[in-house]
């Protein structure tokens, strides 16, 4: 039943939470709005306390998994993994910026898929910038590749994005089945992004490399082995019916013990890397979105989203999800749409995932990763108009191509 008063109050709180996330002020962190906002909505009856507890309980394992992945990425960076990978990539490119772009696209896609989009934005992007500056070439094509691929290449694994973890829990798919269905959309999305970015930045890519990278640091063998074993562990855990969080925990423990013993990191550093305030933000946001849904929006979405797993319904679902991501941000859009879409089976839920992962490349507010990327670039960050102009060239093509690939995967 539609409750206009509860819906209005919940919508105001959601708007305040999203504004705090977009501004990301150190003085007023998003969690400082999301958590009290959730408590307020439960206190005034916009959502019942049992429903609020259920919302937190459902998403808590997903948030815990995210914390573990963030730690794994931080520890891998401490081993020098990202700097080594970028240097090797640059050395292979020689004096060709075009070869560098294709390799940076592939590197960004791999890092995003394995260690999550946050690792690509926060840890890989600065290394990409530094590499381009060392080679004395325009950094824009390669920085854009990292930023765009952080969103659009996060389709492959459940661990690649928080949105994936939410969809993964709702679909009931195994880790391997999820990955199998999303392999073709991932490959197609990366290929389309590369083709469009190469075309749009062709002038920058025509500038020859002045200082090619000729030497690379020693390979971080421990990090490569641990990360590789962790990814393999995801598949083994899925076959054994074990939560994939445990291989990730094992990887974190190995690297954490090694770095703590060598005094290369501190417990305080690990706590900061876990980004617990962001975890609290997500928990609070889940309650706020649940309040909006329970006030009548969920029934409206159920009537609005197309049914079926045909190509046209899947394209419509992905398009609606992309629009919602750019209006609401992709995280609340996922929380709102996945429960409704998952009722129609894995196909519509995965189409939502394509929309909320690729769609955010259209506007800065589309995802928190975009806002982080802008902060990492600092003065080099493009304006909102320029960002949306590039997104307008990549998002529609990538969205259609990836959704079509999902439809073909479901047929197989």
Summarize the confidence of residues 96-112 as an average pLDDT: 95
Provide the pLDDT for residue 267.
95
What is the end-to-end Cα distance of the chain in Å, rounded? 39
- How far is 398 from 389, CA to CA, in rounded Å? 15
The CA distance from 37 to 28, in Å, is 13
Provide mean pLDDT across the span 181-189.
98
For helices 125-135 and 368-377, the axis angle rounded to 10 degrees is: 30
Note the pLDDT of residue 161.
Answer: 92
pLDDT at 188 over 90: yes
- What pLDDT sits at residue 215? 87
pLDDT at residue 346 tops 80: yes
Contact 155, 357 (CB under 8 A): yes
Check whether 103 has a pLDDT greater than 70: yes
Q: Note the pLDDT tens digit of each residue in 250-274.
A: 999 999 999 999 999 999 999 999 9
Name residues whose C-beta falls within 8 Å of residue 389's C-beta, 6 or more positions apart in sequence. none
Q: Which pLDDT does position 35 carry in this prediction?
A: 96
321 touches 355 (CB < 8 A): yes
Encoded tokens for 277: 């305030």
**Nearest in space to 119 (alpha carbons), one of 150, 90, 151:** 150
Pairwise CA distance, residues 237 & 179, whole Å? 14
CA distance 21 to 306: 30
Task: Flag whether pLDDT at 311 surpasses 70.
Answer: yes
| Averaged pLDDT for residues 171-186 | 95
What pLDDT score was predicted for residue 23?
Answer: 81
pLDDT of res. 294: 87
Q: Under a CB-based contact definition with an 8 Å cutoff, are residues 334 and 166 in contact? A: yes
Q: What is the pLDDT of residue 43?
A: 95
CA distance 259 to 253: 10
Q: Give the pLDDT score at 193.
A: 97
DSSP string, 248-287: HHHHHHHHHHHHHHTTSS-HHHHHHHHTHHHHHHHHHHHH
Output 195 or 58, whichever has higher pLDDT: 195
- Burial degree of 4 (CB within 10 A; 0-12, 13-18, 19+): exposed
Chain position carrying tokens 């999301």: 34
Q: Check pLDDT > 80 for residue 2.
A: no
| % pLDDT > 90, the chain | 74
Q: What's the pLDDT score for residue 10?
A: 93
Helix, strand or coil for residue 79?
coil
Return the pLDDT at 307. Answer: 84
pLDDT computed for residue 240 by the predictor: 87
Confidence grade of residue 328 (pLDDT, cut at 50, 70, 90): confident
CA of 258: how far to CAs of 68, 79, 262, 266, 275, in Å?
Answer: 17, 10, 6, 11, 21
| pLDDT at site 169 | 84
Quick one: pLDDT at residue 21?
85
pLDDT in tens, 115-171: 999 899 999 999 999 999 889 999 999 999 999 999 999 999 999 999 999 899 889
Q: Residue 65 is inside which H or E element, if any? A: helix 49-78
- Least Cα distance to 31 among 268, 271, 279, 272 occurs for 279
Distances (CA, A) of 11 to 163, 334, 405: 21, 16, 35
Q: Counting every residue, how long is the chain?
A: 412
pLDDT at 1: 64
Helix 245-261 to helix 49-78 angle (10° resolution) is 50
Question: Cβ-count burial of 274 within 10 angstroms (0-12 exposed, 13-18 middle, 19+ buried)?
Answer: middle
Mean pLDDT taken over the chain: 92
């Amino acid at each position: 039943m539609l409750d206009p008063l509860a819906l209005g109050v919940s919508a105001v709180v959601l708007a305040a939470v999203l504004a705090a996330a977009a501004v990301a002020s150190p003085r007023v962190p998003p969690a400082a709005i999301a958590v009290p906002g959730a408590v307020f909505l439960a206190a005034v009856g916009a959502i019942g306390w049992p429903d609020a507890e259920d919302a937190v309980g459902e998403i808590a394992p997903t948030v815990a998994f995210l914390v573990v992945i963030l730690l794994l990425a931080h520890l891998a960076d401490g081993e020098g993994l990202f700097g080594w990978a970028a240097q090797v990539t640059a050395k292979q490119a020689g004096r060709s910026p075009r070869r560098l772009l294709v390799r940076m696209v592939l590197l960004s896609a791999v890092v995003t898929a394995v260690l999550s989009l946050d690792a690509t934005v926060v840890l890989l992007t600065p290394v990409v910038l530094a590499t381009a500056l060392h080679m004395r070439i325009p950094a824009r094509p390669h920085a854009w590749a990292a930023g765009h691929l952080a969103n659009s290449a996060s389709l492959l694994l459940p661990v690649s994005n928080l949105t994936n973890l939410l969809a993964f829990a709702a679909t009931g798919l195994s880790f391997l089945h999820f990955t199998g269905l999303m392999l073709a959309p991932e490959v197609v999305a990366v290929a389309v992004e590369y083709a469009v970015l190469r075309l749009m930045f062709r002038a920058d890519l025509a500038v020859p490399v002045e200082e090619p990278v000729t030497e690379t640091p020693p390979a971080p063998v421990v990090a490569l082995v641990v990360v590789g074993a962790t990814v393999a562990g995801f598949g083994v855990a899925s076959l054994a019916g074990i939560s994939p969080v445990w291989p990730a925990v094992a990887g974190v423990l190995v690297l954490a013990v090694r770095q703590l013993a060598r005094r290369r990191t501190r417990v305080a550093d690990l706590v900061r890397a876990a980004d617990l305030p962001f975890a609290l933000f997500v928990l609070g946001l889940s309650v706020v979105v649940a309040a909006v849904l329970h006030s009548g929006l969920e029934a409206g979405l159920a009537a609005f989203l197309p049914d079926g797993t045909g190509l046209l319904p899947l394209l419509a679902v992905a398009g609606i999800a992309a629009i919602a991501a750019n209006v609401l941000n992709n995280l609340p859009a996922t929380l709102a749409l996945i429960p409704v879409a998952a009722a129609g089976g894995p196909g519509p839920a995965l189409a939502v995932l394509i929309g909320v992962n690729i769609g955010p490349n259209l506007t800065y507010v589309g995802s928190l990763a975009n806002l982080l990327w802008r902060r990492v670039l600092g003065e080099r960050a493009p304006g909102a108009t320029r960002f949306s102009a590039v997104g307008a060239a990549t998002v529609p093509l990538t969205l259609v191509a990836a959704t079509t690939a999902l439809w073909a995967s479901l047929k197989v």
